[in-house]
Each structure stands twice: as structure tokens, then as C-alpha cells.
Amino acid sequence: MPAHEGTSVALLASLLALLAATLRLSLPVLITSVGATFTELGGVVNIGLEGMMLVGAFASAWAGITWGPLAGIAAGIAAGGLLALVHAVAAVRFRVDHIVSGVAINLLAAGLVRIGSYRVFGTATTSGRVEGLPPIPVPYLGDLSPLVVVGFLLIGVAWYVQQRTPFGLRLRACGENPLAADTLGVNVEAMRVAGVVLSGMLAGLAGSYLVVELNHVYVEGMTQGRGFVALAAMIFGNWTPTGAALASLLFGAAEALSIRANVAIPYQFLEMVPYVVTLLVLAGVMRRSTPPAAVGTHYSRGDE
């Protein structure tokens, strides 16, 4: 029956479109939440990820317009990393409470991008168009950004680095038992700073993706709380890159669904879908989560 065939083809098409939208929408959260595993495994809470993503977005718009997409992405990574360094110095070196430092970082970021935007774009809230990388045509899904590939590779790379390299072992030791790591000659401060900066660089990369690849434009506030959502995804994913990535995909799918579903419910309830889904999943299937034992704590030797 051709008519029947027609509807099933249309259904398939919308499913594929949904899948593609899920990938697009998940990626910034995915990259950031995978990055967040680095900071947390090292023992530092980083709620400044939102701000780091935002400065990454701004910096990549500026460099992307000036020198092209690759420079844009590099600048985004660098900007996120630099802001993360501020957080790391405050939280690790000076032992400022991680949360407060993160709150301050977010404030800093919000102000800095506005000042920068005035200077660079002549307006506070938006940039001109940013060219992207040449997209990769994928059968059925359409054009995908090369960063989607990078993002998914990142999951494996993060896992490998954390589980199969001396760096990862030391980093995790600093998040679990910094005293033990110190007695074995691991430089706890350096490792923790490295973890924070890595997370900031990846948050910056996520910001770049938003600007250079997804929207081709910078808009103030465009990160829309994705940094916080990434943190939730990381916790939801039980502090592992794969778990974080899966949680991010779940968020992305829920968001894509809320955009594309045509259901007759009050509009505001569609807004809630991703968050309610997460809550339901948490309430239903979540096993007790196990954060790194020393996360959020400061470390110093006993005789100081």
C-alpha cells in the first residue's frame, strides 16, 4: 500500500531528523560533562563550567571571524582553559571554597564577555556570522560537524587517559586520597590544577562548537545553563566519561523530543520534559552514586 509506505517513510525521516537533532543538541553538554570528569576525579568541584563555556563561545566567535574556524576553536579552548586556571589557582593553591570560586568565575565570565563583545563586535549581545568547518556528509543524517566526531572520540580518549595512563592514575588518586598520593611523591596541586584546566578547555571547546559549528553566531547567554546541566550529567553518569556521555545524550534526546514532538499539552510542560525525564530516571533506576572520596576538599600536609 503506497499510502502506508508513505507514512512509514515520513516516520523514518522524522526519526532520523530526531536523531540528528539529538546529536547536535547533546554535543555541547557531552563535551563539557566528559571534561567535568577530569576536574572531579582530581577532587575539585567546578561549577564555573558554565562561565568557561561562555568565554569559550565568545573567544571562538572573535577568533573565528578574524582568522577562521580552526583559530576560533583553538581560541575557545584556550579561553576556557585560562578561566579554569583562575578557578584552579583560587581553589587549589589558595584553598578557596570550590563552590564559591565557581560562582565568582561565572560572574567574571558574564561580565568579561560583555566587555569583550562591546570592544570586538561593537555590541553587547551578538556577533556577526562565523564560518564553520567543512561539514561531513553522513548518509541519512545529513551534514554533521567534524566536532561531533571529535566529541565522540573524546569519550574514548578521556577513558583511556583516566584509566590507562600514569597521569590518569595520579589524577584519580588526588581525588580519592590526596595524602596517599602526596606520600608517593605525586604533586597533588599540579595534578588538581591540570584536571581543572582540562575541564575548562573542554568546556571552552563546547562553547566553540555552539558558535563555530552549530549556530555560526555568538549570542550573549547562549550557553543557557548547559554548564550546569553538564555537571548534572557527569554526576548522573557516575563520574565516568561514558556515563557522562550517555547522560548527555539522554538530555539531548529529551530536548530534541520536546522541540519536535507535536503533542497537545500546555507549552510550558514541553519545556520541562528534559528535566522531568532526568528526575524520573534518577528516581527509578539510579544506583547510589559514588563521588571521588576527596572531592571538594582542600589538601595540605599535617604539619604546616
Partner 1 sequence: GGGGSGGASGGESQGGGQAEQPTVRVGLVYDVGGRGDQSFNDMAYAGLERAQQEFGDRVEVRDAEPDAGGQNREDLLRAFADQGYDLVIGVGYLFTDAVTAVAKEYPDVKFGIVDSCPQEPLDNVACLTFKEHEGSFLVGAAAALKTRTGKIGFVGGMKSALIERFEAGYRAGAKYINPDVQVLVDYAGTTGEAFSNPTKGRELALAQIQQGADVIYHAAGGTGKGVFEAVKQQGKLAIGVDADQSLTAPDYADVILTSMVKRVDVAVFDLIRSVVEGDFRPGLHAYGLKEDGVGYAVNDKNRAMIEDITAQLDELKQKIIDGEIQVPETPGDV
Partner 2 sequence: MNRIARGLLYAAVPVAALVLAALIGAVVVLVTGGHPLEVLQVMLRYNLSSPDSIAGILSRMTPLILSGLAVALSFRAGLFNIGVEGQYLMGAFTASLAGIYLAGLPAVLHLPLTVLAGMAGGVLWAWLPAELRVRRGVHEVISTIMLNFVSTALLLWLIGDVFLDPTQGGSTPRVRMSEIAPTARIPRIHGLAELLGIPLRPSTALDWFFPVALAVAAGVYLLLWRTPFGFELRAVGLNPQAARAAGIPVEATLRKAFLLSGALAGLVGMSDLLGYFGYLDIDFPRGYGFTGIAVALLGGNHPAGVVLAAFLFAFLQRGGLGVQALAGVPREVITVMEGVIILTMLITAAVAGRWLRRWERARLLAGQEGGRGPEGSAAPAAPGEEGQHAGA
Partner 3 sequence: MADAEWMLEARHITKRFPGLVANDDVSFAVRRGEIHAVVGENGAGKSTLMKILAGLYEPDAGEIRLEGRPVRLRGPRHAAQLGIGMVHQHFMLVPRFTVIENVVLGSEPGSAGRLDLAAARARVEELARRYRLEVDPDARVADLSVGQQQRVEILKVLYRGAQVLILDEPTAVLVPQEVEQLFRHLEELRQQGKTVLFISHKLDEVLAIADRITVLRRGRVVGTVAARQATKAQLAEMMVGRPVLFRLDRPEPPALDDPAPLLALEEVTCLEGGRAVIDGVSLVVRPGEIYAIAGVEGNGQAELLQVVTGLRPVTRGRVRLFGEDAAAWSVARRRAAGMAVIPEDRHRQALVLPMTVWENAMLGSHRDPGWRRGPFYRLAALRRRVAAQIGRYDVRTPSLDVPVAALSGGNQQKLILARELERDPRLIVAAQPTRGLDVGAIEFVWSQLLAARARGLGVLLISADLEEILALADRIGVLARGRLVGELPRDEATPERLGRLMLAGGEPA
Among 166, 185, 266, 302, binds ligand ATP (CB under 6 A): 302
Candidates 63-71, 88-96, 154-162, 170-178: pick the segment binding partner 2 (CB under 8 A): 88-96
Residue 49: CB minimum distance to partner 1, A: 17
Smallest separation (angstroms) from partner 2 to the CB of 57: 16
Task: Determine if 169 is a binding residue for partner 3 (CB under 8 A).
Answer: yes
Binding partner selected for residue 5 from partner 2, ligand ATP, partner 1, none, CB under the kind-specific 5 to 8 Å limit: none
Subset of residues 140 to 169 that bind partner 1, contact rule: CB under 8 A: none
| Residue 126 partner contact from partner 3, partner 1, ligand ATP, none using kind-dependent CB cut-offs of 5 to 8 Å | partner 1
**What SS3 string covers the chain?**
CHHHHHHHHHHHHHHHHHHHHHHHHHHHHHHHHHHHHHHHHCCCCCCCHHHHHHHHHHHHHHHHHHHCHHHHHHHHHHHHHHHHHHHHHHHHHCCCCHHHHHHHHHHHHHHHHHHHHHHHHCCCCECCCCCCCCCEEECCCEEECHHHHHHHHHHHHHHHHHHHCHHHHHHHHHHHCHHHHHHCCCCHHHHHHHHHHHHHHHHHHHHHHHHHHHHCCCECCCCCCHHHHHHHHHHHCCCCHHHHHHHHHHHHHHHHHHHHCCCCCCHHHHHHHHHHHHHHHHHHHCCCCCCCCCCCCCCCCCCC
Contact status: 304 vs ligand ATP (CB under 6 A): no
Establish if 159 lies at the interface with partner 2 (CB under 8 A): no
Of 224-283, binders to partner 1 (CB under 8 A) are 224-225, 256, 259-260, 267-268, 271
Binding window for partner 1 (CB under 8 A); candidates: 147-155, 179-187, 188-196, 214-222 = 214-222
Residues lying near partner 3 in the complex (CB under 8 A): 164-170, 172-173, 176-177, 179-186, 293, 301-303
Residues lying near partner 1 in the complex (CB under 8 A): 13-14, 17, 21, 24-25, 28, 114-115, 117-119, 123-126, 128-129, 210, 214-217, 219-222, 224-225, 256, 259-260, 267-268, 271
